[in-house]
Amino acid sequence: MLAFGIKDLIDILLVAILMYTLFKIMKASGGTKVFIGIMVFITIWFLVSNVFRLPMTGAIFDNIVKVGILALVVLFQGEIRKFFFNLGSTKLLGFLKRFSSFLQEQDDEEKAQKASAQVVNLVNACRHMSAGKVGALIVIERDDNIQHLIDTGDVFRADINTRLVENIFFKNSPLHDGAMIIRDHEIAAAGCILPVSNNEEIPRHLGLRHRAAMGMSEKYDSLVIIVSEETGNISVAFKGKYMLNLSPEELQRVIMENVHVARQTKNMKTETNTGQNG
């Protein structure tokens, strides 16, 4: 009788974590049935080759697996890229980034105040567009560089001004159908084209703007704001999940808590206040 040791337990846990991670990635991209089919095929292959030991059938399955691996790499290259991106976005690497930024010169108070003002201007624009039922799609870049998506629209640099944002998404504006992208508290481009999510679990009453926002949040580390043209509701897509029907105050809190530069600014203010109090 084979002994079951700690190494076997670790082996089983690692395989379980790997399978669960793959399942989550496939589910987010709408490939759940494909994932289940692959698992069924692997199970049959294991039984034929290792349990029943059928030489001819096993040889056929072995050859299918050799070719199938290459086919899967081509078919799911997007999901594979996302898997390795998530692997590289671990808390350890996040800690190293924060430690590195701590060694750099801190932003001054003037930049902190400007960043806060830009967020308020953006929220006020969303408030006004919500009241007027003007559709809008706004991407706030975080750690991922999305220059290739910025290049799909009209590229320019401008401070986040409430009236400017409203004019970009005005119904007769040539840019209102695309997405506006914000980088480093500045408008980087408008009229940009975003990837659309294929997630089958997105409610059908949500329109194309919501699907584009979800696709963006699934593929890139960005926070996406949606203002519905039909209902005027304000929503956010972030890390593959929706936050629906937010008030302007809730939207401001979400931006301040989750946008990378805003978090740095908030931390800097906390450190400044702590030093003054001490």
Residue 160 has pLDDT above 60, yes or no: yes
Residue 138, amino acid: I
| Dist. CA 21–CA 161, nearest whole Å | 41
Task: Show the DSSP H helices in 132-238 as ranges.
Answer: 147-150, 162-168, 208-219
* Mean pLDDT computed over 255-262: 72
Residues linked to residue 225 through DSSP beta bridges, in sequence order = 138, 236
Q: What are phi and psi for residue 178, nearest 5 degrees?
A: -90, -170
Residue 260, pLDDT score: 46
| Dist. CA 141–CA 40, nearest whole Å | 39
172-210 residue pLDDT tens: 888 888 999 999 889 999 999 999 998 888 888 898 999
In a 10 Å sphere around its CB, with 0-12 CB exposed, 13-18 middle and 19+ buried, how is residue 128 labelled? middle
| Residues counted in the chain | 278
Residue 237, pLDDT score: 96
* Mean pLDDT computed over 59-71: 77
210-226 residue pLDDT tens: 999 999 999 999 999 99
Token code pair at residue 97: 């980034």
Residue 63, pLDDT score: 80
| Dist. CA 230–CA 206, nearest whole Å | 10
- Residue 46, CB-side half-sphere exposure with 13 Å CA sphere: 6
Global pTM reads 0.58
Better pLDDT: 25 or 6: 6
Between helix 55-75 and helix 77-88 the angle, nearest 10°, is 70
C-alpha closest to that of 180 among 121, 113, 239, 246: 121
| Helix, strand or coil, per DSSP, at residue 184 | coil
DSSP E strands in the chain: the ranges are 136-141, 154-159, 179-183, 186-192, 222-227, 234-238, 241-246
- The H or E element spanning position 43 is helix 32-46
Mean pLDDT of the chain: 81
Between helix 248-258 and helix 260-277 the angle, nearest 10°, is 80
